[in-house]
């Protein structure tokens, strides 16, 4: 029971003070520049050699204390770094940044007061930073997993398009219930009961089984309650800008049903299910062990179709 994939869906539950190395980030090229938006948002602007295309794609990572490269204390796959480099080769600039959880852990600062809305505020700050940058005349937001919802909530009139990569199509409580049910049939009913109590009362829920503490730890409940108040399908249905929805058919965290829910809510969106792509954007087969290994092995290749879909959408 303790090995839920929820640890990937919501790895913030295991913040650790030694989560990240203090080694300086490896420079990708002279076209790679560290850009600090504020004390909590620090990232990398990667420019293409040919700057004739004045488009910027802002990349947002998923749940947990992920850094700008898509890595956390439990995973190192360089998914977002590889995506940025692939787009650079296609003449597209990117900005990717450490989530404020990752930034604070690196700097030994507290993460206890972080709210879900803080991630939306950070994304908005990034947009506002680049709006007046004369190097760019178009800005696209690309949110991965939890970052899909965060990006949607941060969109404003200055953004030219939105890309959802493995984004949930329903509230986080429903996603967790589904995930638990797939791994431990019957346990999902207990999880659903606790979530219902969280919705019905203002105080913290304390009467839940101890083995569900990784989900319902009292310190996490305010964050979870705020997160599950946002319905991604409802949010995407109200967008009035170009939208691209992509998901992999080997994604064991965000099932393709989630992408279908988003597409049903936004039928005008471009929509693709990418064969053999998993949750960390890698090209894998149907072997579960290979899929799991790719989370912590940067040598697994980024799925080339993902890059092409984004390039076609942006250009």
What predicted TM-score, i.e. pTM, was given to this entire model? 0.89
The answer to whether the CB of 68 falls within 8 A of the CB of 29 is: no
- Dihedral angle sign, alpha carbons of residues 34, 36, 39, 42: negative
- pLDDT (mean) for 265-278: 98
pLDDT for 16 beyond 90 = no
Structure confidence by residue, pLDDT tens digits, 163-183: 999 999 999 999 999 889 888
pLDDT for 113 beyond 80 = yes
The pLDDT confidence band at residue 6, using thresholds 50, 70 and 90, is very low
CA angle centred on 210, ends 204 and 216, rounded to 5° = 35
What pLDDT, on the 0 to 100 scale, is given for residue 157?
Answer: 96
CA angle centred on 44, ends 39 and 46, rounded to 5° = 155
- Distances, alpha carbon 166 to alpha carbons 66, 212, 278, in Å: 16, 25, 9
pLDDT for 139 beyond 80 = yes
- pLDDT (mean) for 215-227: 93
Burial class of residue 138, CB neighbours in 10 A (0-12, 13-18, 19+):
middle
What the block records as the tokens of 293 is 């290994």
Higher pLDDT, 27 or 203: 203
Q: State the first-to-last Cα distance of the chain, in angstroms, to the nearest integer.
A: 45
What pLDDT, on the 0 to 100 scale, is given for residue 15?
Answer: 35
What the block records as the tokens of 138 is 């178009």
pLDDT for 7 beyond 60 = no
CA dist 214 and 211 (Å) reads 7
Mean pLDDT of the chain: 90
- pLDDT (mean) for 109-126: 94
What the block records as the tokens of 280 is 């960390």
pLDDT for 17 beyond 80 = no
Side-by-side strand order, sheet with 55-60: 32-36, 42-46, 93-97, 55-60, 138-144, 161-165, 243-248, 270-274
The answer to whether the CB of 25 falls within 8 A of the CB of 81 is: no
- Distances, alpha carbon 11 to alpha carbons 68, 75, 166, 185, in Å: 16, 10, 16, 22
Structure confidence by residue, pLDDT tens digits, 83-94: 999 999 999 999
Domains and CATH numbers, the chain: 6-171+232-314 (3.40.50.1820)
CA dist 194 and 192 (Å) reads 5
Per residue, the 3-state secondary structure of the chain, as one string, reads CCCCCHHHHCHHHHCCCCCCCCCCCCCCCCCEEEEECCCCCEEEEECCCCCCCCEEEEEECCCCCCCCCCCCCCCCCCHHHHHHHHHHHCCCEEEEECCHHHHHHHCCCCCCCCCHHHHHHHHHHHHHHHHCCCCCCEEEEEEECHHHHHHHHHCCCCCCEEEEECCCCCCHHHHHHHHHHHHCCCHHHHHHHHHHHHHHCCCCCCCCCHHHHHHHCCCCHHHHHHHCCCCHHHHHHCCCCCEEEEEECCCCCCCHHHHHHHHHHCCCCEEEEECCECCCCEECCCCHHHHHHHHHCCCCCECHHHHHHHHHHHC
The pLDDT confidence band at residue 14, using thresholds 50, 70 and 90, is very low
- pLDDT (mean) for 234-259: 96
């Amino acid at each position: 029971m303790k090995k839920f994939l929820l640890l990937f869906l919501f790895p913030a539950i295991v913040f650790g003070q030694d989560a990240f190395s203090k080694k300086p980030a490896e420079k990708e090229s002279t076209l790679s520049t560290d850009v600090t938006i504020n004390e909590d948002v620090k990232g990398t602007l990667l420019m293409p050699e040919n700057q004739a295309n004045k488009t910027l794609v802002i990349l947002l990572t998923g749940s947990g204390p992920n850094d700008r490269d898509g890595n956390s204390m439990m995973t190192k796959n360089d998914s977002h770094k590889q995506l940025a480099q692939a787009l650079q080769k296609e003449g597209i600039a990117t900005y990717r940044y450490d989530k404020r959880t990752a930034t604070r852990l690196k700097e030994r600062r507290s993460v206890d007061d972080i709210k879900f809305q803080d991630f939306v505020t950070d994304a908005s700050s990034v947009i506002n930073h680049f709006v007046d940058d004369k190097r760019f005349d178009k800005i696209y937001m690309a949110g991965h997993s939890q970052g899909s919802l965060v990006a949607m909530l941060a969109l404003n009139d200055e953004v030219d398009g939105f890309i959802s990569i493995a984004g949930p199509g329903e509230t986080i409580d429903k996603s967790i219930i589904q995930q638990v049910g797939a791994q431990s049939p019957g346990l999902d009913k207990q999880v659903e009961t606790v979530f219902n109590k969280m919705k019905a009362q203002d105080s913290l829920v304390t009467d839940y089984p101890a083995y569900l503490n990784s989900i319902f730890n009292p310190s996490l409940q305010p964050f979870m309650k705020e997160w599950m108040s946002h319905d991604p399908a409802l949010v995407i249905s109200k967008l009035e800008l170009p939208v691209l929805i992509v998901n992999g058919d080997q994604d064991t965290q965000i099932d393709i049903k989630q992408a279908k829910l988003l597409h049903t809510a936004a039928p005008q969106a471009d929509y693709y299910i990418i064969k053999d792509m998993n949750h960390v954007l890698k090209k894998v087969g149907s072997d579960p062990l290979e899929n799991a290994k790719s989370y912590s092995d940067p040598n697994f290749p980024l799925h080339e179709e993902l890059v092409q879909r984004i390039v076609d959408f942006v250009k």
